[in-house]
Structure formats: C-alpha cells, structure tokens
C-alpha cells in the first residue's frame, strides 16, 4: 500500500512538471481575454491585484475593450477583444513554469495611446545579476495600425520564474500609457557554426516568437546586452530596433524568417567571428524587400573587418531579392561582420511607417585566393 502511494505521488509529480512547463506560444491568458468581474473595476480601472486571471497587477492598470474610445481615438486590440493599459508605475506579472538554464524570448504587442515618449521595463525574477532589466522604448513608427510587437531574451535561472512588464513612466495623465496584448514565450536554441557556415544563425531561422495574428513582424530592440538578445548569434548594434519578419506575412528571401533593417544607418546587426590573419573569406548574403509596400531605392552595406561592400537594391515593394558577395582578407583573429541600411525608407501606403531592405541567408566561408566565389 505504502509503495503504491509513493509511486502515485511520484507519477503525479512527474505529470505535473511535464504538463505545466510552458511551451512556445501565448502565456496562460496572455491575450487578456479573461478579465476582471465588474465588481473589481471602477470604470476601466482594475481595482483588485488578482482580478485578471493568471496575472498579478499593480498600479494604474486599465482593462480595455476593443472599440473603446479615448477622446477621438478608437482603441483597437490586435488579438481577441481585450487588452490592458499600463498607466503610471503600473505593472503586470505572471509566474510561469519553464526549464531551468534554457534561454527564452519574450514577445508582446504594445501600442502607444498618447503623444509622449513611452518606455516599458521588462524583467524576470529570479535573476542573479543586479539591475538586469530591459528598457524598451515604444515606437509607433513601424506599423500602420499603431501596434508593434517587441521581444527580449533571458536565461531561466529557476524552473519557476516571474515575468514582469512595467511602465516606469510618471505622466501628468495617469491614463497615458501603452496598451499591452499577446504576451508569449519561446525557447531559444543557439544554432552552432557548421562546415557550411562560420556564422551562427546566418539564416535568422532562430529568433523570437512571432505571434501568428501579428502581421507587423517583431521588433528586436537595440542596446540590449548580448545575453538579452532574442536573435541568437547576433548583436543589434545600433540606436534603433531591427525587425524580425516571417514568411506568413512578408516576402522572405530564404526559409521562414529574415531581418528587415527598418531604421536606415541607425539599424545595424553584427556578429564577431574567429578568422585567420592573411586568409581569404567570402561573405555572401541576400538583399531584398519584404513585399510590404516599401518601394524605392534601397541599399545594404556589409562590413567585414576593414572591407565593405554597398549593395544597391531597387524595390518595387512587392518582394524579391538578389545575392551579393564580399570577399576579404582577414587582418585580425576576430572579424566583425556587420550589416546596415544606407537609406531611410518609408512605406508608400501613406502610413508614414519606416521600413527598409531585408537581409537573409548570410554565409561566411574561407576561400582560396584565386578561386572565384
């Protein structure tokens, strides 16, 4: 009898762990479709910290229904019918079961509702590093409907973690704060270098979770430390974000994912790779457009150590790509490979949204001096 009980307890513990660990996708109630009871709200303001199922809230949090008006503005919600708005010093937190020591990326959608510059502070606990959070500036310039998706990477230091999204702002109007919807997690696997490619994740297939209903891609913020990059292998080496795009919603040169350099010269990605001084290498890549009405003259600049190449690309905004190669002689044991967009491009759909060239299929290989590449 005792043995059976022990076995049952063990089995149920195992099942519990197996079933409750988060898989790639939305967090439980990650799109806020389950909301507070009427008695837990005053107008749109949520009054009880536990009123939104699966979440713990603090500060000025509003529960917003799609179609609700704010002044002259109609608030739209990207996924389902509801979203939350984080006012001054407001935060939402959720505890999730994860696999300890794995890297994860957090993706969520956000929209600004006031003219002020807004920022969100994302963090995860436990975290052995002090002051280790991400401040993500909210920008409305990238999508046509006001919503953008943002991503951030982290290492799970325990099998249960708490994710926090916090608006550190202190505005005169406490209701001025970003709307949040579709909070999702994905495990990140760092691809290895191979015989075919000295670069990691050169085809960008590994990256943040793309929300199936979000047709505007996922922004990978700049100035985040390497250990918070949701794009394994790559550093976002610029003032502005780059955009992670998927073949379900965009034209992508190869595979399912690529990078759109959306902010001109302020939008750059880089990777440092070990090289042999005096040896020749070929850096090949595809340059194209995402098929998102981003028409006009585009240009991608590729750098490898001291060498560079400018690749012009005439975009019709309907998708397409071409290949380019930069051949160089390594002058150092570590070579920095970097890509940036020469021009600032804007969509031709009157949205004023920034856009730019797409890069994909980046490969680095050693070559013999005389061999053609």
Binding footprint of ligand NAG on the chain (CB under 6 A): 121, 123, 133, 164, 166, 168
Least Cβ distance, residue 127 to ligand NAG (angstroms): 9
Tokens, residue 365? 């290989």
Q: Which of 52/92 has CB closer to ligand NAG?
A: 92
Residue 29 backbone class (left: φ over 0; alpha: ψ -120 to 50; beta: rest) = left
Q: Which of 155/324 has CB closer to ligand NAG?
A: 155
DSSP 214-248: -TT-EEE-SS--GGG-SSTT-EE-SSS-EEEEETT
Q: Which of 166/228 has CB closer to ligand NAG?
A: 166
Query: Residue 3, exposed/middle/buried by CB under 10 A (0-12, 13-18, 19+)?
Result: exposed
CA angle in degrees (0–180, nearest 5) for 71-75-80: 160
Pairing of strands 218-220, 147-155: parallel
Burial letters 26-40, b for 16+ CB under 10 A, else e = bbebbbbeebbeeeb
Query: Residue 196, exposed/middle/buried by CB under 10 A (0-12, 13-18, 19+)?
Result: exposed
Q: Which of 134/233 has CB closer to ligand NAG?
A: 134
Residues in the chain: 373
Q: What is the DSSP letter of 14?
A: H
Q: Which of 157/254 has CB closer to ligand NAG?
A: 157
Least Cβ distance, residue 81 to ligand NAG (angstroms): 28
Least Cβ distance, residue 172 to ligand NAG (angstroms): 19
Residue tagged 């229904």 (tokens)? 65
Q: Which of 68/88 has CB closer to ligand NAG?
A: 88
Least Cβ distance, residue 91 to ligand NAG (angstroms): 6
Least Cβ distance, residue 46 to ligand NAG (angstroms): 18
Tell me the C-alpha distance between 319 and 119, whole Å.
Answer: 33
Least Cβ distance, residue 61 to ligand NAG (angstroms): 14
Least Cβ distance, residue 106 to ligand NAG (angstroms): 13
Q: How many helices (H) and strands (E) does the chain have?
A: 1, 28
Cβ contact 283:364 at 8 Å:
yes
Q: Which of 221/253 has CB closer to ligand NAG?
A: 221
Q: Which of 166/186 has CB closer to ligand NAG?
A: 166
Least Cβ distance, residue 162 to ligand NAG (angstroms): 9
């Amino acid at each position: 009898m005792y043995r059976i009980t022990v076995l049952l307890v063990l089995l149920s513990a195992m099942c519990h762990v197996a079933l409750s660990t988060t898989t790639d996708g939305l967090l439980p109630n990650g799109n806020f479709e389950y909301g507070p009871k009427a008695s837990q709200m005053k107008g749109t303001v949520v009054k009880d910290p536990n009123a939104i199922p699966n979440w713990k809230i603090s500060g000025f949090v509003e529960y917003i229904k799609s179609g609700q008006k704010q002044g002259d503005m109609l608030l739209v919600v990207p996924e389902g019918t509801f979203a939350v708005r984080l006012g001054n010093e407001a935060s939402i937190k959720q505890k999730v079961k994860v696999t300890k020591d794995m890297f994860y990326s957090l993706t969520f959608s956000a929209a600004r509702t006031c003219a002020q510059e807004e920022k969100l502070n994302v963090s995860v606990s436990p975290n052995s590093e002090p002051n280790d959070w991400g401040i993500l500036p909210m920008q409305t310039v990238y999508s046509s409907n006001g919503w953008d998706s943002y991503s951030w990477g982290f290492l799970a230091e325990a099998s249960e973690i708490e994710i926090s999204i916090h608006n550190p702002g202190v505005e005169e109007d406490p209701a001025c704060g970003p709307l949040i919807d579709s909070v999702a997690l994905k495990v990140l696997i760092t691809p290895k270098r191979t015989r075919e490619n000295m670069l990691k994740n050169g085809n960008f297939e590994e990256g943040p979770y793309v929300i199936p209903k979000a047709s505007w891609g996922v922004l990978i913020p700049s100035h985040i430390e390497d250990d918070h990059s949701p794009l394994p292998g790559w550093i976002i080496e610029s003032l502005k974000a780059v955009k992670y795009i998927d073949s379900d919603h965009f034209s992508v040169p190869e595979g399912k994912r690529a990078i759109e350099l959306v902010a001109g010269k302020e939008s750059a990605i880089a990777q440092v790779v070990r090289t042999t001084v005096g040896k020749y290498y070929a850096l090949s890549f595809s340059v194209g457009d995402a098929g998102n009405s981003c028409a006009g003259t585009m240009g991608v600049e590729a750098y490898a150590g001291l060498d560079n190449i400018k690749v012009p690309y005439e975009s019709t905004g309907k998708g397409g790509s071409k290949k380019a190669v930069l051949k160089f002689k390594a002058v150092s044991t570590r070579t920095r490979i970097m890509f940036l967009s020469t021009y600032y491009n804007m969509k031709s759909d009157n949205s004023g949204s920034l856009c730019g060239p797409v890069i994909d299929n980046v490969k680095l290989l050693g070559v013999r001096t005389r061999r053609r590449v």
